[in-house]
Amino acid sequence: MNTLTQFHLVHGAVLEDVDGIGIPMRYGSRFEQEIQTMLQGAGIFDASTMMEIQVKGPDSLQFLQGLVTNDLNALEVGECQPNLMCNSRGKIEHRLEIIRLEEKAFLICCARGEGLAVGRKLDQFHIREDLQLSVLNSDTIRIDMIGALAKQILENQGWSTDTFKWKMSGIEILTVDAPINDFPRFIHLVPLLEAVTFIETMSEEPETGLVGQDSLKDLQTHLGHPQFGMDYGVENFPQEAALGDHISFNKGCYVGQEPHARMYHRGHPNWILVQLQLPEDMVVSSGVKLYVEDQKVGTLTSLSSIQEQDFRNGIGMIRHQIAGTGQDLTIENNKNALIRQQPLPYQI
């Protein structure tokens, strides 16, 4: 058991094993407190189960441009960009976050449990390009800070908005401003041996606290941020998943580009994710079918516990023609309670 795992257990974490690493799902019975920490302060999230694959070398940009959906030419050093890897039919295989470390060096942050498959795909396409592939997790891990006061707390520790590389108490850190939609989130790349010290130092700041995967997922649904493996998956196109911030339609060729371009310029998907507002007292769970009158039109894919103005936010996959009308939706056993729908922030 490593020091970081021991730290989480001491603080009451319920861990789930991912590739031999324990990821904190929640900290005891503090689920609601974790959410409030992010809404009002800053939550500290251990993202060390995200495999970090560095692609470095003269051909790194050209190589990745042919594999991912977004335009890496638009990515400056010290910035993060959401991305997808798709198959030749245009369907999503992996959701990624890519950080530009240097002019010719990129860091691919893989969704938990996806790292080995992403690495195999990179190896498959790497033939003669002048670059090196390496996994950094044995030396560097990712720790995120999410919340309304995250920026202020980082500034208290000596970070500034124009700084990518900085030091805190002698610890060398890379910090990237990477909001969830418009909600503050900062990605930190921290030396593995200094991770506990980093977390403990940040936790000394007022309005901070540890948060697990469960509360972070809940917040992302509330914010209208679709999640891979929950709201969409390998059977979906980017257009269905409303991932307009993950894709460029003018960057040139990449794996899956032709079906994406045809759908974008000549048609639309049959299904699309939308943001939903459900009455706060509606008893419902993810997976329930959605209706317009007596017609089944979709499925509730995720539901937040956060209540706001008598509603809770959710995300649902519904028929495109219904999304276009903006009609209210219902569920089968409660046709009187209306569910509002609206486009997600990055609908294509």
Residues 125-142 have a mean pLDDT of 96
Residue 115 within a domain: no
Residue 167 within a domain: yes
* Each residue's pLDDT tens digit, 77-87: 999 999 999 99
Residue 132 within a domain: no
pLDDT tops 60 at residue 2: yes
Residue 241 within a domain: no
| The predicted structure's pLDDT at residue 333 | 77
Per the structure block, which two tokens stand in for 222? 């509330």
pLDDT tops 80 at residue 20: no
3-class SS at 255? coil
Domain boundary among 223, 256, 278: 223
Residue 274 within a domain: yes
Residues 153-168 have a mean pLDDT of 94
Confidence grade of residue 3 (pLDDT, cut at 50, 70, 90): confident
Looking up residue 205, the CATH number of its domain turns out to be 3.30.1360.120
Confidence grade of residue 62 (pLDDT, cut at 50, 70, 90): very high
Domain boundary among 203, 223, 243: 223
Identify whether residues 289 and 155 lie together within a single domain: no
161 class by beta-carbon count within 10 Å (0-12 exposed, 13-18 middle, 19+ buried): exposed
* Each residue's pLDDT tens digit, 184-238: 999 999 999 999 999 999 999 999 999 999 999 999 999 999 999 999 999 999 9
Distance CA 215, CA 196 (A): 21
Per cent of the chain over pLDDT 70 is: 99
Range of the domain at 209: 3-48+138-223
| The predicted structure's pLDDT at residue 124 | 96
* Each residue's pLDDT tens digit, 256-282: 999 999 999 988 999 999 999 999 999
| The predicted structure's pLDDT at residue 22 | 80
Residue 84 within a domain: no
Confidence grade of residue 116 (pLDDT, cut at 50, 70, 90): very high
Identify whether residues 169 and 39 lie together within a single domain: yes
Identify whether residues 336 and 198 lie together within a single domain: no
Residue 11 within a domain: yes
* Each residue's pLDDT tens digit, 307-347: 999 999 999 999 999 998 999 999 987 778 899 999 999 99
Per cent of the chain over pLDDT 90 is: 91
| The predicted structure's pLDDT at residue 17 | 83
Distance CA 199, CA 184 (A): 18
Looking up residue 274, the CATH number of its domain turns out to be 2.40.30.110
pLDDT tops 70 at residue 292: yes
Q: If you average pLDDT over every residue of the chain, what do you get?
A: 95
Helices 31-40/213-223 angle, 10° precision: 50
Identify whether residues 27 and 153 lie together within a single domain: yes
Identify whether residues 147 and 21 lie together within a single domain: yes
* Each residue's pLDDT tens digit, 119-129: 999 999 999 99
Residue whose pair of structure tokens reads 């509603």 in the numeric block: 311
pLDDT tops 70 at residue 107: yes
Residue 180 within a domain: yes
pLDDT tops 80 at residue 303: yes
Question: Who has greater pLDDT, 172 or 267?
Answer: 172
| The predicted structure's pLDDT at residue 334 | 79
Identify whether residues 14 and 159 lie together within a single domain: yes
Identify whether residues 146 and 34 lie together within a single domain: yes
Domain boundary among 167, 193, 223: 223
Identify whether residues 16 and 158 lie together within a single domain: yes
Looking only at the bridges linking them, the beta strands covering 105-110 and 295-308 are unpaired
Identify whether residues 186 and 298 lie together within a single domain: no
Cβ-based neighbours of 344, under 8 Å, separated by 6 or more: 224, 226, 242, 273, 274, 275, 315
pLDDT tops 90 at residue 13: yes
Residues 145-165 have a mean pLDDT of 95
Identify whether residues 173 and 39 lie together within a single domain: yes
How many domains, the chain?
2
Identify whether residues 150 and 12 lie together within a single domain: yes
Identify whether residues 37 and 144 lie together within a single domain: yes
Residue 34 contacts residue 3 (beta carbons within 8 Å):
no
